[in-house]
Amino acid sequence: MKSKAACLLLLLSLLFMGMDGNGQEQDERNELLEQQNVLKEKIETLRREQDFLLFERALYATDSKYLIINLGAKRGQLKYKNRVLKDFRFTGSANLAKDALKPGTVTLTKKREYPGQRHVLFFGRSLVIQWKPPASSPYAENISRISLSKRDFQSIFYAIEKGAKAYIMR
Amino acid sequence: MQTTKKTILVILLFSCCIMAPFPVWAGDAAAPATIDALKDKILAMEQEAAVLEEENRGMMKMLKEMEDDDVYLVVDTESNRLTMRKGKTILLTAVVGTGSRQFVKEETGRNWYFETPTGSLTVLGKERNPVWIRPDWSYVEENMPVPPENDPDRIVRGVLGKYALILGNGYKIHGTKYTELLGTHFTHGCISVGDKDLETLYRSVKIGTKVYIY
């Protein structure tokens, strides 16, 4: 009976010893995974930063005006090379807050004039810039939209040409 | 015998419970990466981040070098506003007048369209008490006979304000008598500015200053 109890004790201690070692390993693994996630996020941020820097560098070399749209700050800039021509504020459609518009470059594909100066700038199917929507809405409800004051919009509408770039920042 | 069997069964059950959360013990096929593999991956990621940081620093430096701290002017012909900027700071916002966007036709067939030129221009000169040399369209517009080119009748003083900044091709930033029209499209292509703003511009702007008109 005594030997059985000893056996059981030995077995249990072996079992718990093993578990203790594995627990340490698990802790180390968790720490490494955490470190990996932090690095992943850092790399992502650096890539986004680089994407924007490449955009600015490329646009510096061209002769066209472009927009910087900062969705977080709800502010934008009209720029030419490295010079700011205009600062503006805007309001965004509800879906802008839901990450519907990804950071990066979009291109002005269409400039449409509508009665009552309710013109619209189309950046593909990603974004619409307007003052007020035209009477008969020319785009799908779920497209991301930003609205500017009438004066700011009029200035921007005539300042940029089809093919102009805009950089979306979050 | 019965007790022994029971003990073994309890031990087995207990072991299974303990081992279940640890797939290495349980012999799980989809075992997570080993600690060493994770360490290798982290090392590679750290290297990637370092490379990206280095590249971004280089690009930021390059873009910074492209920047200058010079004053520059921006004219928005849609909203008739002129801003004087230095870096990211706005030094002045002025309500101005720009080209009327209207045509004038002469019986002979000549015609003029009064529009402020857009693009990147440069201040080529600065004048005090500028004199206006009336161009042909000014006579045509008022149904007056056009005098010869060097006719002294063309020289008009005091209509362009105290100062003018010369942009080339006959275009200038100057003062106006029609201050009530500032903020509208009323000029023949020049940029008209109120007296106070004109003085500030004249004092702040150098020959060579960039003027961006859109």
The CA distance from A169 to A53, in Å, is 12
Asked whether the beta carbons of residue A56 and residue B63 sit closer than 8 angstroms, the reply is yes
Q: Residue A10, Cβ neighbours under 10 Å: how many?
A: 10
Distances (CA, A) of A127 to A60, A74, A106, A114, A168: 23, 14, 8, 18, 10
Beta-carbon separation of B56 and A46 below 8 A:
yes
Taking the domains of chain B in order of start, what are their residue ranges?
2-28+43-66, 71-213
pLDDT of residue A93: 87
Q: Do A43 and B49 touch (CB under 8 A)?
A: yes
Q: What is the pLDDT of residue B27?
A: 46
What's the CA gap between B141 and B160, in Å, rounded? 18
Give dist(CA A121, CA A131) in Å, integer: 10
Per-residue confidence band for A19, with pLDDT thresholds at 50, 70 and 90? low
Predicted confidence at residue B10, as pLDDT, reads 63
Q: Which of A8, A36, A46 sits opposite B38 (nearest CB)?
A: A36
A43 to B59: CB separation less than 8 angstroms, yes or no: no
**CATH architecture of the domain with residue range B71-213:** Beta Barrel (2.40)
pLDDT score of A158 more than 80: yes
Subunit contact A80:B212, Cβ cutoff 8 A: yes
Q: Quick one: CA dihedral B77, A74, B62, A64, positive or negative?
A: negative
Order of all β-strands in the sheet with A75-80: A83-89, A75-80, A65-70, A165-169, A104-107
Task: Identify from A50, A66, A68 which residue to disrupt to test chain B contact, counting B C-beta atoms within 10 A and taking the largest count.
Answer: A50
* Beta strand spans in chain B (E): 71-76, 81-86, 89-99, 103-105, 111-113, 119-122, 125-128, 131-133, 155-157, 163-168, 171-174, 185-187, 191-193, 210-213
**Which value, to the nearest 10 degrees, does the dihedral of the CA atoms of residues A97, A99, A105, A109 take?**
-70
For residue A142, give how far its alpha carbon lies from the nearest alpha carbon of chain B (Å): 31
pLDDT for res B128: 97
Cα-only R_g, chain B: 38
Three-state SS at A71 = coil
Q: Are B38 and A30 in contact (CB under 8 A)?
A: no
Q: Is residue B163 a contact partner of residue B126, using CB atoms and an 8 Å limit?
A: yes
Residue of B nearest to A82 (CA): B67
For A160, the closest chain B residue by CA position comes to B214
One digit per residue, the tens of pLDDT, for chain B of length 214 reads 566 667 666 665 565 455 544 544 444 445 667 889 999 999 999 999 999 999 999 999 999 888 888 999 999 999 999 999 998 899 999 999 999 999 999 888 999 999 999 999 999 999 999 999 999 999 999 999 999 999 999 999 999 999 999 999 999 999 999 999 999 999 999 999 999 999 999 999 999 999 999 9
Asked if A84 and B63 come within 8 Å (Cβ–Cβ), the reply is no
What confidence score (pLDDT) does residue A131 get? 92
Contacts of B174 (CB under 8 A, 6+ apart): B130, B160, B161, B163, B164, B165, B190, B191, B192, B193, B198
Which residues on B lie below 8 Å from A2 (Cβ)?
none
